[in-house]
A = this chain, B = another copy of it.
Amino acid sequence: MTFQYDNVYINATSTVAGPYEAKGPLGKLFDKTYEDLYNGEKSWETAEVQLLKESIDILLKKANKKKEEIDLAIAGDLLNQITSSSYAIEELNLPFLGIYSACATSTEGMIIGASLIDSGKIKNCITATSSHNMSSEKQFRNPTEYGAPKPKTATFTATGGACLYLSNEKSKVRVESSTIGRPIDMAQQDPYNMGAVMAPGAADTIYRHLTDLKRQVTDYDLIVTGDLGVYGKEILIDYMKTEYGIDISNNYDDCGTMLYDLEEQKEVMAGGSGPVCSALVNCSHIIKLMEQKKLKRVLWVATGALFSPTFVYQKENILSIAHAVSLEVVE
């Protein structure tokens, strides 16, 4: 399902990141970074809440808005019952739509927000997401203390909070269109190879986006997926070519491979993941390149793996989904 928008703008973005992200190539671009994964909190979970809360506070300052002027917050995260989002938004006392698409949550929020702004139902909204390396490890691979070795296809959940302020007030970059993804089952069962799980979901959404709008890959300066990592990125390029006859290799990158220095930061294995991964890269780096007109049109395809530890234990396949938003420089 593809929508086009006439009057939806990105007026501000914000990013707060953890120590591993701070050491990566985009470290200096984040609004704030922490050297410690606890960032002054007592638990990984409240640390994640505070990262998200702080990124929203910074967003409001950058957008020069009081929280009373915000119509709606749309947010989601990986924690069970999306607690990071709920607890962060509660402190702001805003109308709240909780969402979940795993690591594709960021663009799902933008699609809902942009659709409501475009139709005049709201004037503005905050879309937000977070993840935290240790709250995710604890939840998905508890007890983490066992420290079992991981295969090289494993990705590393990014730590941080990232937000966008979307509104009908003209700015340098607009949300031009979007495509809602479908859950895709490619009979994958390895929770340590999310790139392989998510690549077909990304391919399906990119293909339908291009088809729905009768566009070519070259209509975009950059197609950037969420968090496929080194191996998933290769799989996507191959899969697009063999399945759809589309070569994306010349203007394609993956946020999971951009967030860290994969040569130096060996601990991140195949790259970054988590809903905040693609949000950190886009909100700190790519949207800034667009504001500087170094990129004119970008397709941000956040990618998520739909599963739970319970379903993995029960030998169910791991599904994937990808939601795409097309961003365009306002001339």
Give the B-binding residues of A (Cβ under 8 A).
1, 3, 42-43, 45-46, 71-72, 76, 78-83, 86-87, 89-90, 93-102, 108, 111-112, 115-116, 118-122, 139, 180-185, 306-311, 314, 316, 319, 321
Contact = CB atoms under 8 A, between A and B. Distances in A.
Contacts of A72: 1, 180
Contact of A119 (B71, B76, B118): B118
B96 A99 contact: no
Given A182-B94, A184-B90, A310-B83, A100 B99 contact: yes
A314 B43 CA distance: 8
A99 B98 contact: yes
A100 B82 contact: yes
A96 B71 CA distance: 24
A121 B177 CA distance: 12
A51 to B, nearest CB: 16
Contacts of A116: 115
Given A71-B1, A183-B90, A184-B90, A79 B122 contact: no
B90 A76 contact: no
Contacts of A99: 97-100
Contact of A112 (B1, B83, B112): B112
B307 A83 contact: yes
Given A81-B308, A115-B116, A119-B119, 20 more contacts: A1-B72, A42-B314, A45-B310, A46-B316, A80-B81, A81-B100, A83-B307, A83-B310, A83-B311, A86-B319, A87-B319, A94-B182, A95-B180, A95-B182, A98-B306, A100-B100, A112-B112, A115-B119, A118-B121, A119-B121
